[in-house]
């Protein structure tokens, strides 16, 4: 009955309840200890007395927690970020070759020397009854490192999620992505090739006519020109023009599968970007799993070493425990004292680690977004906090070990000797 009730709850409700229970458990234990024995002056005193060791242990726990958190958040953000970027590219068609190379070139605008499609491919696709639109993607030039991408107004509208409109009135007009250093009114001569070093300038002069709002894709880092402008700059007539990549949007989802089948032949290769990403994730995923396991194991080792340090610290305080024993301190008091001391260390360390890890993850996400083709956006859910608090509870249970070990020792001779 309870299982049925639990399964009927939403994921959010389940996570909220779990979080509340997991938080309530240590809070209730600490409150009941404090109610039974007013421990706080002794615990604060111990923390003050061993402040150097305490700082070292806090640093260990917080850094280990931060590293685990940064890795977990970043790995997920990279996956969702890379998937989100490819969302707007339903089907990609290119000459047979590496799907990964084509994906990187079309979606992430990574420089790549790709073979060209046959000249009639674009027109065949454009006139196909199942195709909503087919947009070429051509690159090969840049201006001071910002790639110059040739395509159509249709794809620009699609990326911006706005009704179809004409973005270019002439072939010397350029749209600047939201993350480029260019603004309306800027003019430049594009440089040939991908390298910024010894590249040759084209004769054509281009004008930035508009700075686009963000599309949430790598295209925000590019300058967009009509594909015809690129052909003209390279001296290719429209009649002979060939493109390496065509982005296709179908009229229906079913049609997409038909198109993929139809255009997977000796001349063309058709694939869904999500499919390639999924294959990549499955390969990288196992590596990520290993790294996740390693970071968790490291954190566990850190917690164990902290528990061992607490054990050694408490052993060095034999006279104090002998004094407590002589004064009639109940064994439970000694247990609670050591447990509470360890609990304060662990809770503070993990809270600091979460703050540090959060800040680190945000900084790293910003760095990734500017330095890599993937706009990384961190997502933190309630389930993340459930995992953190669950880990906290497990370590608090482990904190019973030094407490139990020290509190059961005999201290009869500690003072007399």
Partner 1 sequence: MTDTQAPQAAFRLQQLSLLRDSGSVLLHVDEAEFPANQFVCITGPSGAGKSSLLFALAGLNQKLTGSIQFQGHHLDALSTAQLADLRRSSLGIVLQHFQLFDELSAFDNAAMQAMWGARISRHAIRQHVDELLLRLRIDDTQKLCAKLSGGERQRVAVARALASRADTLLADEPTASLDTQTAKQLTALLVDNTVGVGGTLIACTHDQDMIEQADAVWTLSDGSLHKLR
Output DSSP code: residue 200.
Answer: P
Residue 404: CB minimum distance to partner 1, A: 15
CA dihedral sign, ordered 85, 88, 93, 94:
negative
Residue 85: CB minimum distance to partner 1, A: 56
**Comparison of 38 and 197: residue with beta carbon closer to partner 1:** 38
Residue 323: CB minimum distance to partner 1, A: 4
CA distance linking residue 121 with residue 13, whole number of Å: 52
Residue 41: CB minimum distance to partner 1, A: 4
Nearby residues of 233 by Cβ (< 8 Å), 6 or more positions away: 141, 190, 202, 203, 204
How many Å from the N-terminal Cα to the C-terminal Cα in the chain?
Answer: 61
Residues that bind partner 1 (CB under 8 A): 37-38, 41-42, 45-46, 48-49, 319-320, 323, 325-331, 333, 410, 412-413, 415-416
Output DSSP code: residue 201.
Answer: B
Residue 405: CB minimum distance to partner 1, A: 16
**Comparison of 50 and 232: residue with beta carbon closer to partner 1:** 50
**Comparison of 49 and 205: residue with beta carbon closer to partner 1:** 49
CA distance linking residue 202 with residue 196, whole number of Å: 13
Cβ proximity of 169 and 207 under 8 Å:
no
Cβ proximity of 208 and 168 under 8 Å:
no
CB atoms within 10 A of CB 178: 13
**Comparison of 145 and 330: residue with beta carbon closer to partner 1:** 330
Q: Mapping DSSP to helix (H, G, I), strand (E, B) and coil, where does residue 208 land?
A: strand
**Comparison of 41 and 235: residue with beta carbon closer to partner 1:** 41
Residue 342: CB minimum distance to partner 1, A: 17
Cα angle 75, 270, 258 (rounded to 5 degrees) comes to 115
């Amino acid at each position: 009955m309870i299982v049925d009730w639990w399964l009927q709850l939403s994921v959010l409700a389940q996570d909220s309840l779990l979080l509340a229970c997991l938080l309530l458990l240590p809070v209730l234990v600490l409150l009941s200890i404090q109610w039974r024995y007013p421990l706080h002056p002794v615990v604060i005193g111990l923390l003050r007395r061993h402040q150097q060791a305490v700082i070292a242990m806090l640093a260990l726990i917080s850094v280990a927690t931060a590293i685990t958190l940064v890795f977990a958040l970043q790995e997920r953000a990279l996956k969702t970020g890379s998937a989100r970027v490819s969302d707007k590219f339903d089907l990609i068609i290119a000459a047979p070759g590496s799907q990964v190379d084509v994906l990187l070139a079309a979606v992430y605008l990574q420089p790549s020397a790709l073979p060209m499609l046959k000249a009639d491919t674009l027109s065949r696709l454009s006139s196909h009854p199942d195709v909503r639109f087919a947009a070429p993607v051509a690159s090969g030039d840049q201006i001071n490192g910002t790639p110059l991408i040739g395509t159509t107004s249709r794809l620009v509208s699609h990326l911006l999620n706005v009704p179809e409109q004409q973005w270019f009135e002439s072939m010397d007009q350029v749209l600047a992505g939201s993350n480029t250093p260019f603004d309306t009114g800027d003019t430049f001569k594009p440089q040939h090739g991908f390298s910024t070093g010894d590249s040759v300038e084209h004769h054509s002069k281009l004008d930035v006519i508009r700075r686009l709002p963000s599309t949430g894709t790598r295209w925000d880092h590019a300058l967009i020109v009509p594909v015809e402008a690129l052909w003209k700059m390279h001296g290719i007539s429209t009649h002979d023009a060939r493109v390496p990549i065509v982005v296709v949007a179908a009229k229906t989802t079913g049609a997409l599968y038909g198109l993929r089948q139809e255009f997977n032949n000796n001349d063309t290769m058709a694939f869904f970007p999500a499919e390639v990403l999924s294959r990549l994730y499955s390969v990288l995923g196992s590596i990520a799993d290993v790294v996740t396991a390693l970071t968790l194991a490291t954190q566990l080792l850190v917690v164990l070493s902290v528990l061992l340090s607490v054990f050694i610290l408490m052993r060095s305080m034999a006279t104090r425990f002998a004094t407590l024993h002589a004064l009639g301190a109940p064994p439970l008091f000694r247990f609670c004292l050591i447990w509470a001391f360890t609990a304060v260390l662990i809770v503070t360390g993990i809270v600091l680690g979460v703050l540090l890890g959060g800040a680190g993850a945000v900084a790293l996400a910003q760095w990734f977004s500017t330095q890599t083709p993937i706009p990384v956006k961190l997502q933190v859910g309630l389930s993340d906090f459930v995992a953190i608090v669950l880990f906290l509870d497990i370590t608090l249970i482990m904190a019973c070990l030094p407490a139990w070990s020290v509190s059961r020792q005999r201290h009869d001779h500690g003072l007399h000797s």
